[in-house]
């Protein structure tokens, strides 16, 4: 009996059989529509819950109510007024913080002295929540736009400086040595080797600083502003106008998406060689 079983086994082993495939997984692909379909499903369920009365509209207004609120805000002009203030603050703060961050980041990346001093300061000051400095900035700069813009600029500055000097550090040294071997002057090495080499990291930094700027503008406007999306969201919350509150949140989300798309375009244009 045992012999027969052994013979069967030997016969089975002698037969050719396919090699088992073991290479599946660990290779997630990007699906073009799945994200949108998932989002549409969530919105549909949310709308259904609102329309069927499963949730109180005061606590969670339906998507259609939010769309109507946005439409009314746009018609009345309030949306543009609030949005333009926020965009002005974000734009000014982001530009100031980015310019300062790029200069300091390049300094740290290229100079031993600047690196020694700069990294210590950045390490000490980067973790501070910048919004906590707003009262101090109001004291220094007054109650106008300056402290809000300065708060955003500070938040943007640190992330930009870090991404720039990390980018400079990541430029392959062999390219710098190659340029030096051809006697290319320092400023041309910075412009033609280090800047393009650091650009991927700098643009990745822009993505982060755009979010930081958005976060800080809302916080700053909630603390001390009459106009701006942050101020609008706070007012709507105080008046229990949750449809308007969420309208503000949706506008912020759309604004973030538009900025992200802009950075994507910039990356496609400037990093086409990758």
Partner 1 sequence: MDLIADHICHRFGTLDVLDRVSFQVASGEVVAIVGPSGCGKSTLLSILGGLLRPSAGQAQLRGAPPANSLNPLTFVFQDFALLPWCTVEANVEFPLVHTALGASERRTVVDDALRRTGLTDFCGAYPKQLSGGMRQRVGIARALAVRPAILLMDEPLSALDSQTRELLMEDFVNLLADGSMGAVYVTHNLEEAVRLADRVVVLSRRPGRVREVVTIPMTRDERGDINARGKLLALQNELWSLIREEAIDAEREVQHA
One of 35, 135, 185, 262 touching partner 1 (CB under 8 A): 185
Q: Does 178 participate in binding partner 1 (rule CB under 8 A)?
A: yes
One of 131, 138, 164, 179 touching partner 1 (CB under 8 A): 179
Which residue, 161 or 193, is less far from partner 1 as judged by CB? Answer: 193
Which residue, 198 or 216, is less far from partner 1 as judged by CB? Answer: 198
Q: Does 95 participate in binding partner 1 (rule CB under 8 A)?
A: no
Closest contact distance (angstroms) between CB of 260 and partner 1 is 23
- Residues near partner 1 (CB under 8 A), total: 18
One of 3, 113, 182, 269 touching partner 1 (CB under 8 A): 182
Q: What distance in Å separates the CA atoms of residue 180 and residue 175, rounded to the nearest whole number? A: 9
Which one of the spans 47-55, 63-71, 188-196, 237-245 is the region binding partner 1 (CB under 8 A)?
A: 188-196
Whether 223 and 200 have beta carbons less than 8 Å apart is answered as: no
Closest contact distance (angstroms) between CB of 166 and partner 1 is 18
Whether 156 and 212 have beta carbons less than 8 Å apart is answered as: yes
Q: Which residues contact 221 (CB under 8 A, 6 or more apart)?
A: 85, 86, 89, 148, 227, 228, 229, 230, 231, 234
Q: What distance in Å separates the CA atoms of residue 142 and residue 227, rounded to the nearest whole number? A: 17
Q: What distance in Å separates the CA atoms of residue 155 and residue 210, rounded to the nearest whole number? A: 10
- Subset of 196-225 contacting partner 1 (CB under 8 A): 196-197
Query: What is the contact mask toward partner 1 in residues 12 to 51, using x (rule: CB under 8 A)?
Result: ----------------------------------------
Closest contact distance (angstroms) between CB of 271 and partner 1 is 8
Q: What distance in Å separates the CA atoms of residue 79 and residue 86, rounded to the nearest whole number? A: 11
Which residue, 88 or 184, is less far from partner 1 as judged by CB? Answer: 184
Q: Does 188 participate in binding partner 1 (rule CB under 8 A)?
A: yes
Which residue, 122 or 198, is less far from partner 1 as judged by CB? Answer: 198
Which residue, 32 or 173, is less far from partner 1 as judged by CB? Answer: 173
Q: Does 274 participate in binding partner 1 (rule CB under 8 A)?
A: yes
Nearest CA among 118, 125, 107 for reference residue 164: 107
Q: What distance in Å separates the CA atoms of residue 202 and residue 65, rounded to the nearest whole number? A: 40
SS (H, E, C) 146-189: HHHHHHHHHHHHHHHHHHHHHHHHHCCHHHHHHHHHCCCCHHHH
The 8 Å CB, 24+ separation contacts for 184-192 are 190/106, 190/110
Which one of the spans 22-30, 38-46, 130-138, 171-179 is the region binding partner 1 (CB under 8 A)?
A: 171-179
Task: Write out the residues near partner 1 by the rule CB under 8 A.
Answer: 174-175, 177-185, 188, 192-193, 196-197, 273-274
């Amino acid at each position: 009996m045992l012999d027969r079983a052994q013979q069967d086994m030997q016969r089975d082993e002698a037969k050719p059989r396919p090699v088992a495939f073991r290479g599946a997984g660990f290779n997630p692909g990007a699906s073009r529509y799945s994200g949108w379909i998932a989002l549409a499903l969530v919105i549909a369920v949310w709308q259904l819950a609102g329309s069927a009365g499963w949730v109180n509209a005061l606590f969670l207004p339906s998507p259609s109510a939010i769309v109507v609120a946005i439409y009314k805000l746009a018609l009345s002009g309030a949306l543009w007024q609030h949005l333009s203030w926020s965009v002005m603050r974000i734009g000014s703060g982001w530009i100031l913080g980015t310019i300062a961050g790029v200069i300091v980041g390049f300094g740290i990346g290229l100079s031993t002295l600047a690196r020694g001093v700069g990294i210590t300061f950045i390490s000490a000051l980067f973790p501070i929540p910048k919004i906590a400095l707003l009262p101090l900035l109001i004291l220094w700069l007054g109650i106008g736009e300056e402290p809000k813009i300065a708060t955003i600029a500070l938040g943007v500055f640190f992330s930009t400086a870090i991404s720039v000097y990390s980018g400079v550090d990541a430029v392959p040294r062999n390219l710098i040595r190659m340029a030096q071997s051809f006697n290319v002057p320092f400023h041309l090495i910075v412009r033609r080797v280090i800047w393009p080499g650091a650009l991927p990291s700098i643009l990745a930094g822009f993505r982060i600083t755009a979010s930081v700027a958005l976060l800080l503008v809302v916080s700053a406007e909630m603390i001390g502003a009459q106009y701006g999306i942050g101020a609008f969201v706070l007012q709507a919350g105080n008046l229990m106008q949750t449809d308007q509150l969420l309208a503000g949140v949706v506008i912020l989300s759309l604004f973030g998406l538009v900025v992200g798309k802009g950075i994507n375009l910039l990356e496609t244009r400037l990093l086409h060689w990758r």
